[in-house]
């Protein structure tokens, strides 16, 4: 059974968007790589925006459903006990980072795509990102308020955004060839990156400035 034209377009778009960003991919480059006709894009998706939306929606739903599932398992496992920060972050970060594994290892396009979504200016992408992420943010922040009651709600929210930033950078930076060489990041597996990411974010989330040293150095 062959891959349908629609799927071919989606997969090729995902690959090219992840590598070059949305603005960096024209429909003509896309169809040339995919081996389909130009009009097929508009037939199946209505417009380039429609294609963008479809590409991102497919993975974002998957990622955030997985995050909610992992959070549910943690809640069932810990009951009324505080869930450790590390476990929460693991649940938050594993889904996007290891997405390529769970989909049969079609490559690392998926994770890169999710990371792109966070760094994109495109309005369609940001709308999709927000819609799919809204519930996840609420639930994780709610759980973090139990695990880290010593922080203010504002501080928890900001730090969670730092977590997202670190995640994004972990996959976008290796796309920049010169930095990859400079920092020797090329030989990192996704599991390695995930472990380092969870460790870093756990430390960052849990960090408590020593009281009394609030003044000057």
Stretch that binds DNA, among 26-34, 133-141, 171-179, 181-189 (CB under 7 A): 26-34
How is residue 25 written in tokens? 């991919």
Of DNA, a copy of itself, none, which one sits near residue 217, judging by CB under 5 to 8 A according to partner kind?
a copy of itself
Please list, in sequence order, all residues whose beta carbon lies within 8 angstroms of the beta carbon of residue 113, skipping any fewer than 6 positions away: 14, 17, 18, 55, 56, 59
- Please, are residues 66 and 56 in contact by the beta-carbon 8 Å criterion? no
Q: Is residue 98 close enough to count as binding a copy of itself by CB under 8 A?
A: no
107 lines the binding site for a copy of itself (CB under 8 A): no
Task: Give residues 27-86 in contact with a copy of itself (rule: CB under 8 A).
Answer: none
How is residue 114 written in tokens?
């999710």
- Here's the x/- map for a copy of itself, 111-130, by CB under 8 A: it reads as -------xx-x----xx--x
Q: Of 171, 6, 204, 174, give the one whose Cα is nearest residue 97.
A: 171
Report which of 3, 115, 1 is spatially closest to residue 59, judged by C-alpha positions: 115
- Residue 14's Cβ-count burial label (10 Å; 0-12, 13-18, 19+) is buried
Q: Are 146 and 127 in contact (CB under 8 A)?
A: no
How far is residue 148's CA from residue 89's CA, in Å, rounded to a whole number? 12
> What residues numbered 31-90 form the site for DNA, per CB under 7 A?
36-44, 47-49
CB-nearer residue toward a copy of itself: 98 or 166: 166
Exactly one of 11, 21, 27, 101 binds DNA (CB under 7 A); that residue is 27
The partner in contact with residue 153, picked from a copy of itself, DNA, none with C-beta cut-offs of 5 to 8 angstroms by kind, is a copy of itself
In this structure, what are the phi and psi dihedrals at residue 209, rounded to the nearest 5 degrees?
A: -60, 135
Q: From CA 150, how far away is CA 19, in angstroms rounded?
A: 40
User: Per-residue x/- mask for a copy of itself, residues 151 to 190, rule CB under 8 A?
Assistant: --xxx-xxxxxxxxxxxxxx-xx--x-xx--xxxx--x--
137 binds a copy of itself (CB under 8 A): yes
Q: Site residues (CB under 8 A) for a copy of itself? A: 20-21, 23-24, 87, 118-119, 121, 126-127, 130, 134, 137, 153-155, 157-170, 172-173, 176, 178-179, 182-185, 188, 193, 196-197, 199-207, 209, 217
Q: Site residues (CB under 7 A) for DNA? A: 4-6, 25-29, 36-44, 47-49
């Amino acid at each position: 059974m062959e891959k349908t034209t629609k799927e071919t377009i989606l997969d090729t778009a995902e690959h090219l968007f992840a590598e070059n960003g949305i603005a960096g991919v024209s429909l003509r480059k896309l169809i040339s790589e995919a081996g389909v006709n130009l009009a097929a894009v508009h037939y199946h998706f209505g417009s380039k925006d429609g294609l963008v939306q479809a590409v991102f929606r497919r993975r974002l739903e998957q990622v955030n459903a997985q995050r909610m599932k992992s959070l549910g398992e943690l809640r069932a496992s810990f009951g009324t006990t505080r869930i450790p920060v590390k476990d929460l972050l693991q649940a938050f970060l594993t889904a996007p980072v290891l997405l390529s594994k769970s989909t049969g290892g079609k490559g690392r396009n998926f994770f890169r795509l999710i990371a792109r979504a966070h760094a994109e200016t495109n309005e369609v992408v940001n709308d999709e990102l927000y819609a799919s992420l809204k519930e996840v943010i609420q639930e994780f922040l709610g759980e973090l308020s139990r695990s880290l009651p010593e922080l203010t709600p504002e501080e928890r929210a900001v730090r969670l955004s730092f977590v997202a930033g670190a995640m994004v950078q972990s996959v976008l930076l290796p796309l920049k060839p010169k930095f990859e060489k400079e920092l020797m990041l090329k030989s990192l597996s996704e599991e390695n990156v995930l472990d380092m990411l969870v460790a870093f974010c756990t430390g960052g989330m849990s960090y408590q400035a020593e009281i009394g040293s609030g003044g000057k150095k």
